[in-house]
A and B are shown apart, each in its own frame.
Chain A
Amino acid sequence: MTHEADQPIEWLRCDAPASDVVITSRVRLARNFAGFPFTGRADTSERAQILRIAQSQILDADLAPKVMWVDITELSDTERRVLVERHLISSNHAEGDQPRAVAVSSPDERLAIMVNEEDHLRIQVIRAGLDLTDAFEQANTADDKIESRADFAFSPRFGYLTACPTNVGTGLRVSAMLHLPALRLTGDLEKVKRAAKGMNLAVRGFFGEGSEAAGDLYQISNQTTLGRSEREILQQFEQVVVPRIMEFERSARLTLAQKRPYFFEDQIFRALAILRSARLMKIEEAMTLLGVVRLGIVSSLINDVPLATLHNLILNVQTAHLQRTHKRNMSQRERRIERAALIRNALKEPNHG
């Protein structure tokens, strides 16, 4: 499958609500077909059957103007990693040769349904900025449409039945990708992470479970799925939890700008200068510096770099995207050279042509 590099995919949009702090909002519904074992327990032929059923139901359900069906077993390693980097599939889903797929709405990539991940279906919807209600509506509608053609495993007591009991009930996970560079600079990040855990939230890095927080990007999500309705979970998260953390970050930004303006500006312009000059760039360093430059853009200190350019870089400096752009596997050294060149080129100062 191919992606255009400059395609307007959802999470790169820049005009979204609360996008100074919230990069994306995401909801996910876990569903399993009745009458089958869960994916992990299903043998190859059962998985193939589940895949066929899911394919016809998803493609016939009219979920979006255009839905691409991607058979992951047919993809190269790089193509699989591209899907992970675009947050369309999990790292787990990229591994292995058992029948598995992802259905993606094209070209916006707002809807992605993983088939035969830990659960038969993982219906995921993403929105730029803080817009969980809209994301939930789309996921819920997709669920209704698929459900009108299939029986999902459900029990009146435990709700939607999932392979892991941590997802049982609504099967709903809501999450937000937050950009928290100022909290790191003021040293208050740990405090906020502890507070988030106190509010019963999971805090993860950019690429989900077990990943490091690259670029000061953090995913926070609800941990409990049982006992509260979808609306309650959503409302609590969107109207209480996320705004509270947003306020922490915004006030840290204000504190920095007012009380330590030289330090604040130095951090930002130093990051931009390195990105504009470096000849070798590791992915970790690139993400950190791009994160700081993003802070400079949303704080109106950097005015000659559009936010869209920066968001595109966050995606295109990733290893698999880089290799796809150059249509070959590259050594680590080659990647660092090409990554640095890509960034320099994208951030070129206008008067330098």
Chain B
Amino acid sequence: MSHQCDRCGKPATVHEVTVHAGEKVERNLCQECAREEGLVAGPHAPINELITKFVMSHGAAAKKQSAQSPRAKPCPVCGITLAQFKQSGLLGCPSCYTSFADALAPLIERMQQGATHHSGKTPRRAGATVDRHERIALLRRQLHDAIQAEQYERAASLRDQIIQTGEPVAPSSDTPDPQNACGGDDGREAP
């Protein structure tokens, strides 16, 4: 059985079935119209196009679902927004993967041929250090901003918070000995 494209009458190759309010809606589209409607990616759709499509559709869906649009909310660590990511195709910092998890998960799944989870090498020192590093990175970024804004009291308080973690205020090349720097209670364990 061959269908014709609902939009232009050419032979249809894409058949979309959606359920709206309990009612099944079928659409038949040719490759070209389906691409325009964002149902399929072009054969060599550039990554940026893919990002635009996904971030935009996600953004729209999220807007309907929640009052505060997560699309406009920047990553608290690096300050980048989804709109900026959409433009450059690049995330701002490792924490973006957490900040934009909802938007990124379907995009990554699409880019990575359906894969959703890492399989393979794990750094020996990773694990519990990840959260800790995000926290320190956030503090450092806030400190940087406070100094830029000449908010010295806030800067002093942030500096003290960083010192309390046992990490240097500015990241340095002298990596602390993991045995000493991370005794039992911050959760980092030897491999």
Contacts and interface: CB of A to CB of B under 8 A. Distances in A.
Contacts of A223: 113
Contacts of B43: 197
Contacts of B124: 144, 147-148
Interface stretch (A123-131, A154-162, A247-255): A154-162
A36 B93 contact: yes
Contact of A35 (B117, B137, B173): B137
Given A34-B133, A35-B136, A41-B78, A154 B93 contact: no
A226 B118 contact: yes
Contacts of A49: 170-171
Contacts of B126: 151-152, 154, 156
B93 A38 contact: yes
Given A35-B171, A227-B115, A227-B119, A154 B130 contact: yes
A94 B168 CA distance: 32
B120 A154 contact: no
Q: Which of A147, A164, A165 has the most CB of B within 10 A?
A: A165
Given A156-B126, A161-B94, A226-B112, 16 more contacts: A36-B93, A37-B93, A41-B80, A41-B90, A147-B125, A154-B123, A155-B118, A156-B118, A158-B117, A159-B118, A166-B112, A169-B118, A224-B113, A228-B115, A229-B119, A229-B120
Contacts of B47: 164, 166
Instruction: Report the contact-size class of chain A (Cβ under 8 Å from the partner).
Output: 35 or more
A227 B117 contact: yes
Interface of A: 32-38, 40-41, 49, 52-53, 55-57, 118, 140, 143-144, 147-161, 163-166, 168-170, 172, 197, 200, 223-232
Contacts of A40: 88, 90, 92
Nearest to A194: B43
A34 B118 contact: no
A170 B120 contact: yes
Given A41-B93, A53-B173, A151-B126, A226 B115 contact: yes
Contacts, number: 158
B91 A164 contact: yes
Contacts of A197: 43-44
B166 interface: no
Interface string B96-138: 0110000010011001111111111111111101100110110
B129 A227 contact: no
20 contacts: A36-B137, A37-B92, A38-B94, A52-B173, A53-B172, A143-B121, A151-B123, A153-B133, A154-B126, A155-B98, A156-B122, A159-B118, A163-B91, A164-B90, A166-B112, A224-B113, A226-B116, A226-B118, A227-B117, A230-B121
